[in-house]
Amino acid sequence: MLRMRTIEQAAAEIKKADPDTAITKYAIRQLVVSHEIPSITRGNKYLINIDALLAYLGGETQPEPPRNVIRMVSER
């Protein structure tokens, strides 16, 4: 089961784990809007997977495959 949180809840959870963190709600919102971390929109709120956010902050991101690009097909 995915652990989905609002931006405010995610910021509070990070703050609880590290009271001296420099990560703010605005920083998380910027990651969501720039599609750096996956999210879904429900109403006017963004819901993010807290595990994906923590993995991103820990440097464990997978590069997203390029979109709208012609790729080479091997010859047989």
Residue at 8 is within a domain: yes
Number of domains the chain contains:
1
Q: What is the per-residue pLDDT for 64? A: 62
Segments forming the whole domain that contains residue 14: 4-57
In a domain, 72, yes or no: no
In a domain, 53, yes or no: yes
User: Could you read off the pLDDT of 35-70 as tens digits, one per residue?
Assistant: 889 899 999 999 999 999 999 998 876 656 667 777
| Cβ burial 10-46 (10 Å sphere, 16+ → b, else e) | bbeebeeeeeeeeeebeebbebbeeeebebeeeeeeb
- pTM equals 0.74
